[in-house]
Chains A and B, each alone.
Chain A
Amino acid sequence: MTAALPGIPEEEFVAPGHRACAGCGCILAMRYVLKALGKNIIVSMATGCMEVVTTPYPETSWRVPWIHSAFENAAATASGVSAGLKAMGKKGVKSVAIAGDGGTADIGLQALSGMVERGDNVLFICYDNEAYQNTGIQRSGATPFGAWTTTTPIGKVKRGEDRPKKDIPAIIAAHGAPYVATASVAYPLDFIKKLQKAAAIEGPTYIHVHAPCTPGWRIENNKTIEVSRLAVLTGAWVLYEIEDGKFKLTFKPPKRRPVAEYLKLQGRFRHLTDEEIAEIQRMVDEQCRRFGIE
């Protein structure tokens, strides 16, 4: 191995051979999560793409202890892991919950809220591919405005997702969690630093990572990182931290690019008219204003 990329741990804890799609952004996120956190963790994962592609019995990709129980309860299972470790006096092992946007923002929200409200010592990571991808691309509360999904199809009367994206980091920050952050698979060093920071905190922490789905977003397999990068460079996805209630932008895109550059690479936005793109640009502009990006 070369000495390049010294900030990225070399050891792999997610074994290859998993059944993720070619170009999957989410499994890349998993790779980064485990590089950042190392071996002394216990992962509680929700039902979803990552759970299914990594554990077809009798195979597993996980080189760390890992449990899947159900879809809506990654946070509750992880809270139980944390309580169990505490009860047994086991120190130095971190309980980590991982769920997709479905298992976080929608069906998983109650358990996550409970975990944060109780102050449980769990790092919760949401890998956000912006729909229920594992069941075939149905919309979630995290599906962005205008996107095609199978349950927000482009028809004569309705055209794509008509609701804005649910702001989960804000919800978790409002619970008073000590650390909340957003991340992107196109910025792995930033993601890894945030993971390590969150893991070191005793208490409920939350990281929300943007991770493309090649079939779900209708992008070419080789464009995963390019699309994620453009999301950040256009301000459609903002990288920030909220530490003890204090907001801090962790990346400010220089000369913010028009959101059309991000949208046009994705088939799920192919149907948008110029007017609709302008509407999305307005929403992105408003979001950037809120976050302090020109």
Chain B
Amino acid sequence: MRQVLTGNEVAALGAKLARVNVIAAYPITPQTAVVEKLAEFVADGELDAEFMKVESEHSALSACIGASAVGARAFTATSSQGLMLMSEMLFIAAGLRLPIVVANANRALSAPLNIWCDQQDSLAVRDSGCVQIYCEDNQEVLDSIIQAYRVAEELLLPVMVCYDGFILSHTAEPVEVPEQAEVDKFLPPYKHPHPLDPDKPVTMGPMGVPEYYEEFRCMLQQAMCAAEEKLVGVDREFGKRFGRRYGLLERYRSDDADVLLLTAGSLSSSAKELIDRYRKRGERVGLVKIRAYRPFPAEELVEALGHAKAVAVLEKDISLGWAGALFTDVSAAFVNVKKAPLIMDFICGLGGRDVSQLQIREALRAAARAAETGEVRRPVHWLGLREKIVGLGV
């Protein structure tokens, strides 16, 4: 059934269709409507779940951990400062191998305080061991939450579904809402292999002494790497049943491009428009969108980007003191590859700053210049700064 829904509404709807039975989430702008909507579903008896009125994000994910460990399907949602407060437990949820789904409305990080969109929050926790998916539009958010439980429960890993704060969370778009019966066929009930159960006692979360800790982390890494194949398989099955597929990456008019943009999230849509305009003029430009960021699809990216002369990474984050996360990871993917494009980093859209077509054009032009000259003098650029900061040469 077709409905017009915001990103927050579809996040809640996705959890409802996935038949989550424990929800523990703390409100934070711009995610609040997710929590409110789920409270309404439960209050009306539309969703048979325990709605926990947790007192912080740290407790929210802690409660999800407890619930998931006994075999309940748990869900939480957060953003920005809430994600930071929750972050201790993200690493722990991954280490405990619990299949919790976390919806994250991407928002900038303090200080200074900022409630608007960028991707700093989720990228700051990329090391956690949670699978990370970045969505371009609300349809993708809805579908990804449903897919996320399959991936999470089959691998025993937490999965984070990210969508841009305000840009997606508060924007209503037409979405195709799958029927509950169809979702039920796609997503069977959750069965933890050894839940907390007095009939079969287990100890979860022991002290991992030096003689064993490294092996545990290696096993977690193996599970994360296996997530790549799992994501592809689940997505393929989803596509067969619901007619929509996403993959790990999307290649948009990229196969014969000399210059490529690399994006994640809703910015991909805006950037695609510019690509179309340039293509009309006969310019060989294209775009690659990253959907699965963790596990990092290094091989696929090298394949998708390798033939280009230059790649302009557009990203809404910065690892202060160096460069953006996406740029860093993509560069590492090419480090030992003989035929590699020049790669440039464009930091943009921080704290909800609008990323205009003019800014994207600036990035494309700079990459085209690099492609021509074969040289990148400065790898990291900032787009759309209000004024030049004297002396810093940013």
Give A contacts to B, CB under 8 Å. 39-42, 44, 51-52, 55-58, 60, 62-70, 72-73, 75-88, 90, 93, 95, 110-111, 113-114, 117-118, 120
Contacts and interface: CB of A to CB of B under 8 A. Distances in A.
A51 to B, nearest CB: 7
Interface in B63-114: 63-72, 74, 88-89, 92, 96
B218 to A, nearest CB: 15
A120 B50 CA distance: 11
A84 B69 contact: yes
B212 interface: yes
B56 interface: yes
B321 interface: no
Contact of B89 (A51, A57, A73): A73
A95 B72 CA distance: 14
A213 to B, nearest CB: 19
B161 interface: no
A40 B196 CA distance: 11
27 contacts: A40-B198, A51-B207, A55-B206, A58-B212, A62-B203, A65-B196, A65-B197, A65-B198, A65-B201, A67-B196, A70-B88, A70-B92, A76-B60, A76-B66, A77-B63, A78-B66, A79-B54, A79-B59, A79-B63, A81-B70, A83-B66, A83-B67, A87-B72, A88-B21, A110-B55, A114-B59, A118-B53
Nearest to B208: A57
Say whether chain B's binding surface is mostly helix, strand, loop, or mixed.
Answer: mixed
A120 B62 CA distance: 14
Contacts of B197: 65
A87 B52 CA distance: 11
A55 B207 contact: yes
Contacts of A60: 203, 206
Contact of A42 (B52, B56, B70, B212): B70
Contacts of A39: 198, 201
B55 A55 contact: no
Given A55-B207, A57-B212, A81-B69, A76 B58 contact: yes
B205 interface: yes
Contact of A83 (B22, B201, B209): B22
B50 A83 contact: yes
Nearest to A67: B204
**Interface size class, chain B:** 35 or more
A58 B202 CA distance: 12
A58 to B, nearest CB: 7
Nearest first, the 6 closest Cβ-Cβ pairs linking A and B are A80-B66, A80-B63, A84-B67, A114-B55, A84-B72, A55-B206
Contact of A68 (B24, B67, B206): B206
B59 A62 contact: no
Contact of B62 (A55, A63, A80): A80
A57 B206 contact: yes
A95 B198 CA distance: 11
Interface of B: 21-22, 24, 48-50, 52-56, 58-60, 62-72, 74, 88-89, 92, 96, 196-198, 200-209, 212
A77 B21 CA distance: 16
Contacts of B92: 69-70
Contacts of A70: 62, 88-89, 92
Contacts of B56: 110-111, 114
Nearest to B194: A65
Point out which of B60, B201, B208 has the most chain A C-beta atoms below 10 A from its C-beta: B201
A100 to B, nearest CB: 15
Nearest to A114: B55
Given A42-B196, A77-B65, A87 B54 contact: no
A87 B62 contact: no
Point out which of A39, A56, A87, A117 has the most chain B C-beta atoms below 10 A from its C-beta: A87
A50 to B, nearest CB: 11
Contacts of B212: 57-58
Nearest to A117: B55
Contact of A84 (B48, B62, B71, B96): B71
A84 B71 CA distance: 7
Contacts of A88: 21, 70-72
Contacts of B203: 55, 60, 62, 65-67
Contacts of B59: 73, 75-76, 79, 110-111, 114
